[in-house]
Structures are given as C-alpha cells and as structure tokens.
Chain A
C-alpha cells in the first residue's frame, strides 16, 4: 500500500513535470505565432521575412540536434523541419493565415494515441518525443485564442494607440497583449487541462506519467490500481483547472473585469 502511494506520488511529480515542460514551450511558441498572424505586415521587408522563415526552419533542426545528440537523427530532422516550416509560415501570414489555423486544427483532430503511435517510428520513444507531441497538441487553443483575443479588440482602440504615436512594439506590449490577456489565458487554461489528461497516454511511448499507473494496473489485472489512477488523473486535471482559473482572474486587468 505504502509502496503504491509512493509510486503514485512519484508518477504525479513526473506527470506534472511533463505537463509543465510541454506547456512552457507550447505557450511561448503559440503566443508568439498568435501575435504574428495578427500583424498585417511585419516584417515589411520581404528579404527579412524570408530570412526569419529560414531561421525558424533551421531552429527546428537545431533543436533536433540538441535533443538527440547521441542518437541517429535522420528521421527526426524531418519532423522538426516540418515543425519549423509550420512555425515559419507565420511570416507569410497574409496568404497563409488560414492555412496555419487549418493545419493546426487538423492536428487537433488526430486522436492523441494515434499521434503518439505516428511518432514512435519517426522519433522513437522517450520524454522529448512525448513533449514534441504534446506541444503540437497544446498550441492550437492558445494560437486560436491569441489570434481571436487580439483581432476582437475594438479597432478604435488600436487606431487611437497608433494615432497617438505608439510604435508597433508598444502597441503589442502595452495595448494588444494586456487587453487580449484574459482570452489568451483562457486558451492556456483549456490547453493545459487537455494536456494534463493526454499526458497520461504519453506513458505509451515511455515518458513517465500517471498513465503508467493505469497501465501497470492493467497488466497486473488490478482494478483498484486502474481506478485509483483514473480518478487521480481526473483530480489532477480539476486541480490544474481550478488553479489556472485563479491565475486567469489574477491576470485580467482591473478595467476589463466584469463585476
């Protein structure tokens, strides 16, 4: 019994670590690309735009090299290049804005277990592969909400910001982001809760998470273990949701609160 509780606690820690690790990347990537696709024409210079695109392509390859230093990486590069390509698309958003959102929603419709299955032959098993899959999964609600949050701001507000002489960066940081923050936070909350559940499946490809508890239960034929694992994952998601709800409220600027 004590041993099982011990295992449960260890796996909870691993699970939380996996979720947080994935979310940090997902949030960073998704918020930035969400902001980028709302900008009508940045960077203005086409050459600079192409350079940024190539950088994001190679950033993918670079990450692949860093993550898999000791393994043969030929297939993995392709995945990361594709990912870099995908992120790089934001620099051509005028044409491809909808394509980006579309690709992202296709990813969302792939069942998570299938996605992990897809990744095993290409990436192999392990923590980072799980992270890659989770980040792909987590980013859609955040990109969506960042995009929706910023584009739904009253145009008179952004106009007056520009009309009064704020620079583009000032408009993003001082006006767009704070006003869209509650919506972005809602996206982050949704996607974190989702990932908190999906992370359980990551046990399949060898990333330690609470799913392992259930899988052990299945292989040992212990209903108790399966049930405990399942309920505990549920509780974990609910706690995450409650906690992020608090954070969301805390992040909402006073002038935007409904009371």
Chain B
C-alpha cells in the first residue's frame, strides 16, 4: 500500500507548486494510473515516492512506514522504477542492464542468468539475439521494453512506471498492455503508472487519478470516472466519446444472455417455424453438429426456401465472453445487425448480446 498525505512539492525558484496538497491512497496489488496534461506533476510525484527528491510538505507512507524513516537505498531496491525516457545504461549490454538490481541484491550468478532470460522472453525479445547487444542497437520501443524488464527483474512488490509504453506503436503497445495485465493478474504488484493516453488509463487502471497543476481533480475507478466526471476538465479530458469508452470496460460475459433458443442446420423447416413462433423474436441462430454458429434465419424468409441452408443469413462475427462490449458493438456495426452471438474457446455457441441490452445498460447508469 502507498499512502500520500497532503503532499506538496515546490521546486526551488518556482512560484507554483509542482504538486499541491495531494492525498491519495493506493491499495496493495492494484494499478493506479496518474494522468493529466504535460507538466501537471506526474513525474515529480513518482520521484518523491522513490525518494529521489524530498517533498516540501506532507508525508509518504509505504506499508505504513514513513519513507523518510527507512533506508533510502533499501527502499529503492524494493521499487521497480521505469523512468520517463528509460535511462538504460549505454555502456552495459541488455543483459547487464536487466541484472542491475539482482546484482545489487547479490543474487547468485545462475539465478541472475535465469532472470535475464525469462525477462527477455517476457518482453518478447529473443534472449540469444538481444542479450549481448548494447542499448544503442535497439529501437525506441525495444529500449522501453528493456526498461520495463529491468524494473521487473528483482521482482519488487512496487512498480513505478513513467510512460513505459510511450514509444511503442499502437499494435505493440496494445500487446505490451495485454502482456502486462496478464502478468499483473499473476503477480499482483502495487503499480503507479503514468500515462498521457486516456485509453491506456482506462484499459490498465484499477484506479485512475486525474491531475491538473499538481492538484488531484478526481480519483476513482475507470467506470466511475467515465460515468461521473467530476467537472468540465475531467469530462473534456476523458473525451466526448466517454460513453462509448465505457463499453470498453464491460466484459461480454457480464451482460450476455445465456439461454437462447437455437436450431440445428439439419432441423426440418417446419420445426423451425414452430420454434420461431414460440420465441418473441423474428429470428433464430443456426448451429451445426459441432455446436458452432453458422448464421441466422429470419421469420420472413421461412416461406421462401425449402431448406434452412438456402435461407440462412450471415451473422456478425462472434465474440468471446472475455471480449469487451466495445468489440461486440463494433462487430455488430460492421454488419449492421442488432445482435451478436457469443462462443466459447471451442467455438461453441453459448449465448448472445443484443444492442438493446447495450443501450439500456449505458443510459441507465448515466442517469444514476
């Protein structure tokens, strides 16, 4: 747990504080995002938590210990710090860079070697190829990834990350985010994560702190911030499409309808007609023998053809329960339909999500 209490930082010679009376509590094992315009004090805050600079006022507690009362060097070794601009050591190889803290902690050699390999695999760089390279021989995105690996290497319980994926292209960035979330699910570190990118904040954050001119404007869960922006600044900051963004927070599994009536593609057409009268829909999903969805039939088409195969229509590409509603909506829009089926990882039909559910969900909670 990290607790900041009425933290103030005024740099020498500056009139305005870089951090202004800021109190935040970051629970253990959670990712807290710091976001705000350039110069709002995000880096300053991380540097104070790390002990690189001391606050002008206020206190910082880590697991209830005042950080001014513990050994700074020890403190820092328990904190992985990914610095803005990375700061890899140019005179050391990638392997040497990653093993800095393990070496400071005097781990045995073979353990360090293992860690280096694992870390490189984790960040998607082939150990044999990259281990002995120097930072100058890496791309900007690769340098950043090594920066993250270096901070993670000694398995610190706390991570401070200052725009760690800033230089990666959107695809790599999203991959790194997913990778990181996946790791976090297993290791449960307490993470303070700085970003400029509101989408990244929404995706990565358990909690988001929005800062402006060193002040905390709003602190809450991504959903809370998207649905109840505290003031104009926040709603402008999160963007006018915040309602759509909320869809990115909700998983399909949370809203899907599970007991959906379906027909098999081998079913006789009469049976289908009977079924469609019993549901209050004008369509039915069609599956094959392996339970895989094939498409849907409309009531109005039933008279036209003799077999199901002739009148089956193309459906929106199915989603998984772990996908977000944003994906679901996007898939529906791509085909201009109001429903989408949900499949498990064996591609078997397990339910559906409809546009109605989505609109109801969002308009409801907006009025709360």
Closest to B77 in A: A165
CB contact under 8 A between A166 and B52, given known A179-B91, A254-B134: no
| Nearest CB on B from A156, distance (A) | 3
Q: Is A164 an interface residue (CB 8 A)?
A: yes
Q: Given A159, A162, A256, which contacts B90 in the complex, CB threshold below 8 Å?
A: A256
| Nearest CB on B from A40, distance (A) | 12
| Nearest CB on A from B87, distance (A) | 3
C-alpha spacing A174/B150, complex, angstroms: 17
Q: Is B355 an interface residue (CB 8 A)?
A: no
| Nearest CB on A from B221, distance (A) | 29
A253 contacts across to B, CB distance below 8 A: 90-91
| Chain A: number of interface residues, binned into ranges | 20 to 34
C-alpha spacing A165/B147, complex, angstroms: 15
A165–B73 contact, CB under 8 A?
Answer: yes
Q: CB within 8 Å of B: which of A161-207?
A: 161-167, 170, 175, 178-179
C-alpha spacing A179/B134, complex, angstroms: 13
| Nearest CB on A from B83, distance (A) | 5
A159–B91 contact, CB under 8 A?
Answer: no
A156–B89 contact, CB under 8 A?
Answer: no
| Chain B: number of interface residues, binned into ranges | 20 to 34
Q: Is A111 an interface residue (CB 8 A)?
A: no
B77–A163 contact, CB under 8 A?
Answer: no
Q: Is B109 an interface residue (CB 8 A)?
A: no
C-alpha spacing A175/B100, complex, angstroms: 11
CB contact under 8 A between A157 and B134, given known A162-B76, A163-B50, A164-B81: no
Q: Is B128 an interface residue (CB 8 A)?
A: no
| Nearest CB on A from B333, distance (A) | 43
C-alpha spacing A87/B83, complex, angstroms: 36
B57 contacts across to A, CB distance below 8 A: none
Q: Is A255 an interface residue (CB 8 A)?
A: yes
Q: Per-residue CB proximity of A26-47 to B under 8 Å, as 1/0?
A: 0000000000000000000000
CB contact under 8 A between A164 and B91, given known A156-B83, A255-B134: no
Q: Is B135 an interface residue (CB 8 A)?
A: yes
C-alpha spacing A179/B84, complex, angstroms: 20
C-alpha spacing A163/B81, complex, angstroms: 6
B92–A164 contact, CB under 8 A?
Answer: no
| Nearest CB on A from B334, distance (A) | 43
Q: Per-residue CB proximity of B11-30 to A under 8 Å, as 1/0?
A: 00000000000000000000
A255 contacts across to B, CB distance below 8 A: 89-93, 134-136
A178–B91 contact, CB under 8 A?
Answer: yes
C-alpha spacing A256/B74, complex, angstroms: 30
A164 contacts across to B, CB distance below 8 A: 76-77, 81, 100-101, 104, 150-151
Interface residues in chain A, defined as those with a beta carbon under 8 Å from any beta carbon in chain B: 154, 156-167, 170, 175, 178-179, 253-256
Write 30 A-B pairs (CB below 8 A) sorted by A numbering.
A156-B83, A156-B87, A157-B90, A160-B88, A160-B89, A160-B147, A161-B87, A161-B89, A163-B76, A163-B81, A163-B83, A164-B76, A164-B104, A165-B73, A165-B75, A165-B76, A165-B101, A166-B73, A166-B100, A166-B104, A167-B73, A175-B89, A178-B91, A254-B91, A254-B134, A255-B90, A255-B91, A255-B92, A255-B136, A256-B91
